[in-house]
Structure 1
């Protein structure tokens, strides 16, 4: 869903944009899918990203949700956007080898989009479990 008059980013541009974010590079974030329909980011659950109980740290989940929501909003509003606000609900411990954040635009206006994001952990066998959900708004800069 791209609004009329907004310039749509290509997957190549969005990937280059992600690579220009030092924190995203530090986490090893990958842009798996980028389209007006959905954005998917993945982060591997490395030992240095775990909390004291061995679960992927909630801050990593919040980061992934924030970035996925913003990319989804950018697919509708164009490349110059920022997160306006976000909420996240942790449903279960994030256990597995890969975090997948899938975001979609739920409503697009001229000055704001509302997006939703599912955060899932993928285990060694390929089983996928929902561990958190997020919602946020994205605004043009």
Structure 2
């Protein structure tokens, strides 16, 4: 199984995660938390964080949570997300937990929050998804 440092190195090896400035802040025991700073270039035309950024955070947090029980390498098998309110704040935080795991697949839930300058958090999206062990090519 991965430890926090190895999982953080895995995240840092993803070019898109580096572009967004994502960081892993918790990893282990069936849970993972991913954060990124909310910047103007990540917003849509109404000044809210773009839904694609929320989906990215949920997707990666779900898969990292699954990695705490399945180990690497993993792929997202699918997920759904519900946007609950516009995302505004200083930081985006995605908290994911494993709800069921087998030998090669795990189902996880994720809550995505924005954090304001005073540390207050607001739930802005909820997701559920599956990750599976990466199959090797024949």
Instruction: Please indicate the TM-score interval, normalised by the length of the shorter structure.
Output: over 0.9
User: Of residues 115, 125, 133 in structure 2, which corresponds to 1:140?
Assistant: 133
CA distance in 2, matches of 1:32, 1:72: 12
Q: 2:51 aligns with which of 50, 58, 62?
A: 58
Contact 2:30 2:66 in 1 (8 A): no
Number of aligned residue pairs: give it: 134
Give the root-mean-square deviation of aligned CA atoms.
0.7
| Matched residue, 1:71 | 64
Distance in structure 1 (CA, Å) of the matches to 2:106 and 2:42: 30
Deviation string 1:2-45 (CA, Å, 9 cap, x unpaired) is xxxxxx10111001111110000000001001002310000111
TM-score, length of structure 1 as denominator length = 0.93
Q: Could you list the runs of 5+ residues in structure 2 that have no partner in the other structure?
A: none
Listed one character per residue, the Cα deviations across residues 104-131 of structure 1 (whole Å, up to 9, x for unaligned) are 0000011211000000000111110000
Calculate the TM-score normalised by the size of structure 2.
0.95
Matched, 1:98 2:91: yes
Name the counterpart of 1:120: 113
3-state SS in 2 of match to 1:40: strand
Q: Deviations over 1:43-93 (max 9, x none)?
A: 111000000011000000000000000001111111111000000000000
